[in-house]
Chain A
Amino acid sequence: MSATIRRNTRRTWWKTALGVLFTAVMLFPVYWMVNVSLTRTGDLRSDPPHWFPWEPTFEGYSAVLDQQLPALGTSLLVGLGCVVLTVVIAAPAGYALGLLHLRGGRTLNFLLLVAQMIPAVVMAMGFYAIYNKLGLLNTVGGLIVADSTIAVPFGVLLFTAFMAGIPRELLQAARVDGAGAWRSFWSVVVPLSRNSTITVSLFAFLWAWSDFIFASTLNRNGDLIPITLGIYHYIGNNTTQWNAIMATAVVASVPAAVLLVVAQRYVAAGVTAGAVKD
């Protein structure tokens, strides 16, 4: 037994080596971002470039802490607001579509698929015209609503797919106990949908955190700008300090990194959910 394993390991070590090589090539830009963020300003333009930050500097990071803390806070607020709005709308809708067999559900499903295909630029223009009239430009609330349009259709489709698979017996048992639609939803369906809720929340947060188009159109003159816009302004204003720009980029990537480590299976579930149905 152990001999077979050892032989197999020996036979596949080159695959591991190749895999490590592929991953290294793929992640080189990420490494480069970190490397540049630690390079001293004077060394940024040296030729040949510094491949490794032998003498790391934290100038860039201290600049981030000085200037971008409010932006990080705004992004966090927008992301969390977006999570709440998305789940509050998508979970009940998933229940209606997946378990209560809403009449016209097929049409609604179709509309949600179409909604995912609408380019964000187009939505941004519509929102701009509306917000302009309502005085909602440059507000955090307005940005939360606009950002949630990226996640809501995805959320509904994911909740629907999951809830449709909940065993009927559980709901029937609840009904026998005298639970109405609301009670069944709240005390049976919601607790069972924990994993779907996590996946939807993750993506709603990540998309809102990463959003550039809505932020740069609906919130460009706001007092509270999100971190993506913080980086963008940085690039525009100060093209010499790429270590500071890259340090901000590293900090802005932290949520993605944390999610990958903590919640990888939910991420993978989300990527495939919309695409593969068998």
Chain B
Amino acid sequence: MTTTPTAVGTRGAPRGAAGSRPAAPTERRRRGPTASQWAAVGFAAPLLVYLVLFYAYPLWRNVDLSLHDYTIRAFVQGNAEFVGFENYAEVFSSSTFPTALTNTVLFTVGSIVFQFAIGLALAVFFRSSFRLSGALRAMFLVPWLLPLIVSASTWAWMLNSDNGIVNSVLGAFGAEQINWLTSPDTALLSVTIANIWLGIPFNLVILYSGLQNIPGDVYEAASLDGAGAWRQFWSITFPLLRPVSLITILLGLIYTLKVVDVIWIMTTGGPGDASTTFAVWSYREAFGTGQPDFSPAAAVGNVLILVALVFGFLHLQLQRRQEDS
């Protein structure tokens, strides 16, 4: 019962968008261009004002923070000294930088690989409909919908060294107590596991809707030719799903680079810098200690924006190529 509306909902919108495209040019010629353009500007005006005030201005303030030396006093008095790229130099030469870089790469790549692999496996599994498949698939959305603080604190309690369920189960098999969140060896692993869990629903939903667009007769033809499930996956599903997979991975990258909540709530980036990524580092410098240090925090944040932008351009490029084909 739950399957039908989902499928309609997911496929309706994009098809509508694509269907409108051919109609657009004739429409524009018929109408007086100036009058409707004024109307268009009028309707877009709230958004334009909004983007300037609540996106451009905060971002500009952030650049401004990173180019000055804002101490707390300077923050209140507003007379911070202009230091150019000194904050950036300080960030790059900081001892935290190599650790944060390694952690960001490990956290991001680890999360993406497993989220994607598990999400894809589940999507293929749910592709064939069976009793309850729609309802079960809906249940998989739960982790994604929960507030991050809820999931992160639940994981923190599950991974608690003395009373956590994970250690108690492992202990039943004779394993030693593992200090998941408080040992520098496992802190990053723990937050990555929690983040993988959080990301599976997103991957599942997108890859599943991608699978729906592969026509069923391709599989029928393949099975007539005697291709087994494994063969069908590698020679049909995987190649045909490539465009959707690329976009899923790219969006995953962008989302994972931004993650602060999960790590901050579970380990606050510690112990030491053991689970500090760039985003967490930025948050900690600005808001995480009693001594807010906005200037280096803003510098780290701007580096993060640059990285996100690179992936953003890639995303756009991919999307355009997909629209053309």
Query: B90-98, B136-144, B182-190, B220-228: which one contacts chain A?
Result: B136-144
Interface size on A, residues (CB 8 A): 114
Are B286 and A165 interface neighbours, CB within 8 A?
no
A13 to chain B, nearest CB (A): 7
Q: Are A231 and B149 in contact (CB under 8 A)?
A: yes
B47 at the interface (CB under 8 A from A): yes
Q: Are A268 and B58 in contact (CB under 8 A)?
A: no
Query: Which residues of chain A are within 8 angstroms of B200 by Cβ–Cβ distance?
Result: 26
Q: Judging by beta carbons under 8 Å apart, are B297 and A119 in contact?
A: no
Asked if residues A100 and B40 are in contact (CB atoms below 8 Å), the reply is yes
Most buried by B among A33, A44, A156: A33
CB distance from A100 to the nearest CB of B (A): 4
Q: Is there contact, CB below 8 Å, between A252 and B149?
A: yes
User: 1/0 per position for A133-144, CB-CB distance to B under 8 A?
Assistant: 100000000000
- In the bound complex, how far is the Cα of B128 from the Cα of A125, in angstroms? 47
Assess whether B206 is in contact with A276, with CB atoms less than 8 Å apart: yes
Q: Which residues 81-104 in A have Cβ within 8 Å of B in the complex?
A: 88-90, 92-93, 95-98, 100-103
Is B55 positioned at the interface, with any CB of A under 8 Å from its CB? yes
- Please, which residues of chain B bring their CB within 8 A of the CB of A110? 316
Residues of A within 8 A of B41 (CB): 96, 102
Contact status B147-A209, CB under 8 Å: yes
B100 contacts chain A at the CB level, 8 A cutoff: no
Contact between chains at B55 and A115 (CB < 8 Å):
yes
Given contacts A13-B131, A149-B54, A210-B147, contact A122 B62 (CB under 8 A): yes
A65 within 8 A of B: no
Query: Is the C-beta of A45 less than 8 angstroms from some C-beta in chain B?
Result: yes
Say how far A202's CB is from chain B's closest CB, in angstroms. 10
Known: A13-B131, A216-B287. A232 touches B149 (CB 8 A): yes
Known: A126-B62, A228-B149. A267 touches B141 (CB 8 A): yes
- With a 10 A CB-CB cut-off, give which of A164, A266, A268 has the most chain B CB atoms: A268
Bound complex: CA A6 to CA B148 (Å)? 43
| A117 in the interface (beta carbon within 8 A) | yes
Say yes or no: is A63 at the interface (Cβ < 8 Å to chain B): no
User: Which of A95, A256, A273 gathers the greatest number of chain B CB atoms within 10 Å?
Assistant: A256
Tell me, yes or no, whether B244 is within 8 Å of chain A by CB: yes
User: Would you call A176 an interface residue if the criterion is a C-beta within 8 Å of the partner chain's C-beta atoms?
Assistant: no
Residues of chain A lying within 8 A (CB to CB) of residue B83: none
Known contacts A20-B132, A168-B23, A278-B213, A152 near B150 by CB under 8 Å: no
Contacts of A227 in B (CB 8 A): 147
Contact of B254 with A117 in the complex, beta carbons under 8 Å: yes
Q: Are B150 and A231 in contact (CB under 8 A)?
A: yes
Contact of B312 with A by CB under 8 A: yes
Contact of A161 among B17, B128, B168, B197 (CB under 8 A): B17
Q: How many residues of B contact A (CB 8 A)?
A: 118
Q: Which residues of chain B come closer than 8 Å to A256, judged between CB atoms?
A: 142, 145-147
CB distance from A195 to the nearest CB of B (A): 8
Cα A267 to Cα B41 with chains together (Å) = 31
Asked if B14 lies at the interface with its beta carbon under 8 angstroms from chain A, I say: yes
CA distance A44 to B298 in the complex (A): 42
A214-253 interface bits toward B, Cβ cutoff 8 Å, 1 = contact, 0 = none: 0011001000000110011001000000100110010011
Q: Is the CB of B46 within 8 A of A45?
A: no
Q: How far is the CA of A149 from the CA of B55 in the complex (A)?
A: 8
Q: How far is the CB of A75 from chain B (nearest CB, A)?
A: 9
Q: Does residue A129 face the partner (Cβ distance < 8 Å to B)?
A: yes
Interface set, chain B 293-325, CB cutoff 8 A to A: 294, 297-298, 301-302, 304-305, 308-309, 311-312, 315-316, 319, 322-323
CB-CB contacts of B35-67 with A at 8 A, as 1s and 0s?
A: 011011111101100110011011111101100
Given A12-B130, A13-B131, A271-B202, A252–B54 Cβ distance below 8 Å?
no
B197: A residues at CB distance < 8 A: 26, 29
Once bound together, how far apart are the Cα atoms of A260 and B47, in whole Å?
30
In whole angstroms, how far apart are the Cα atoms of A32 and B160 in the complex? 13
Contact of B305 among A119, A213, A259 (CB under 8 A): A119
1/0 per position for A13-57, CB-CB distance to B under 8 A? 101101110110011011011001000000011011100000000
Would you call A121 an interface residue if the criterion is a C-beta within 8 Å of the partner chain's C-beta atoms?
yes
- How many whole Å from B173's CB to the nearest CB in chain A? 13
Is B13 an interface residue when CB atoms closer than 8 A count as contact? yes
Question: Contact check: which of B39, B131, B149, B150 meets A16 at CB < 8 Å?
Answer: B131
Name the segment of B2-10, B108-116, B230-238 touching the other chain.
B2-10
Of B14, B43, B60, the contact of A95 (CB 8 Å cutoff): B43
**29 pairs, A vs B, C-beta closer than 8 Å:** A12-B130, A15-B130, A16-B130, A18-B125, A48-B172, A93-B43, A100-B37, A100-B39, A113-B312, A113-B316, A116-B254, A118-B308, A119-B301, A119-B304, A125-B65, A125-B294, A126-B57, A129-B58, A130-B58, A146-B54, A162-B17, A168-B27, A182-B39, A269-B10, A272-B205, A273-B14, A275-B251, A276-B244, A278-B14
* Nearest 10 CB-CB pairings of A with B: A165-B16, A126-B58, A210-B147, A100-B40, A181-B39, A269-B9, A265-B5, A93-B47, A256-B145, A122-B301
Taking A30-B142, A44-B163, A120-B260 as given, write out 14 further A-B residue pairs in contact, using a Cβ cutoff of 8 Å, ordered by the A residue number: A13-B131, A15-B133, A16-B131, A23-B136, A89-B46, A123-B62, A125-B301, A126-B61, A162-B13, A253-B147, A269-B12, A271-B144, A277-B14, A277-B319
